[in-house]
């Protein structure tokens, strides 16, 4: 997000800052793909960002819904509570936990959705992940292999 809407977060400034990224990802990419799938299949959306955002997708959905009124703003099998904005560090932690057998991605996302639906929990949506990280060492050796495969010269 640009600095200005971060300081003065009006709906219009937030929309303007994120219309070609997060809003586009849901309303123009994730949603239409989910609509093409069988409607009885529960879908999940993950939007990866470089750094942590302190706005949840449910808040952003309410802003985007107004602006995308001409589009289908509700996708039956991909409701806003099934869409997550995840920063790269948290994504690496998720991949690490899954690769070590801590849980599956769907188990984690269901747990986060349940935590987010509880108004008494103000933080700790990724509690399952945090608990796993406290008892397991993070192993990102697969990233080294990918970096070596790129064969980048200084």
The model's pLDDT over 6-36, given as tens digits with 9 standing for 90+, comes to 555 566 655 565 555 777 788 888 888 888 8
- The highest-confidence range among 63-72, 75-84, 95-104, 133-142, by mean pLDDT, is 95-104
Closest Cα partner for 111 from 92, 130, 95?
Answer: 130
Q: How many residues does the chain have?
A: 154
- Helix (H) / strand (E) element for 57: namely helix 57-67
**CA distance to 72, 95, 121, 150, per residue, from 146 (Å):** 39, 14, 38, 6
- Of 97, 30, 117, 106, the residue nearest 68 (C-alpha): 30
> Could you report the per-residue pLDDT of 73-123, keeping only the tens digit for each?
567 788 888 989 898 899 999 999 998 888 999 999 999 998 888 766 645
- Listed by start position, the domains of the chain span 3-150
Query: Residue 45, SS3?
Result: strand
Residue 61 pLDDT grade (very low, low, confident, very high; cuts 50, 70, 90): confident
CB 135 within 8 A of CB 102: no
The DSSP result for 85-125, as a single string, is EEEHHHHHHHHHHHHTTS--HHHHHHHHHHHHH-TT-SS-T
- The region of weakest confidence among 13-17, 122-126, 132-136 is 13-17
Q: Is 74 exposed, middle or buried (0-12, 13-18, 19+ CB in 10 A)?
A: exposed
């Amino acid at each position: 997000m640009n600095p200005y809407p971060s300081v003065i977060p009006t709906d219009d400034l937030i929309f303007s800052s994120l219309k070609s990224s997060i809003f586009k990802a849901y309303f123009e990419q994730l949603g239409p793909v989910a609509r093409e799938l069988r409607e009885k299949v529960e879908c999940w959306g993950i939007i990866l960002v470089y750094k942590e955002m302190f706005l949840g997708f449910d808040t952003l959905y309410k802003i985007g819904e107004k602006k995308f009124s001409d589009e289908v703003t509700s996708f039956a099998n991909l409701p806003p509570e099934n869409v997550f904005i995840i920063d790269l560090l948290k994504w690496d932690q998720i991949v690490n936990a899954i690769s070590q057998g801590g849980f599956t991605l769907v188990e984690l996302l269901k747990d986060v959705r349940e935590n987010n639906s509880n108004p008494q929990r103000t933080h700790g949506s990724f509690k399952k992940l945090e608990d796993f990280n406290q008892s397991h060492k993070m192993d990102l050796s697969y990233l080294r292999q990918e970096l070596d495969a790129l064969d980048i010269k200084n």
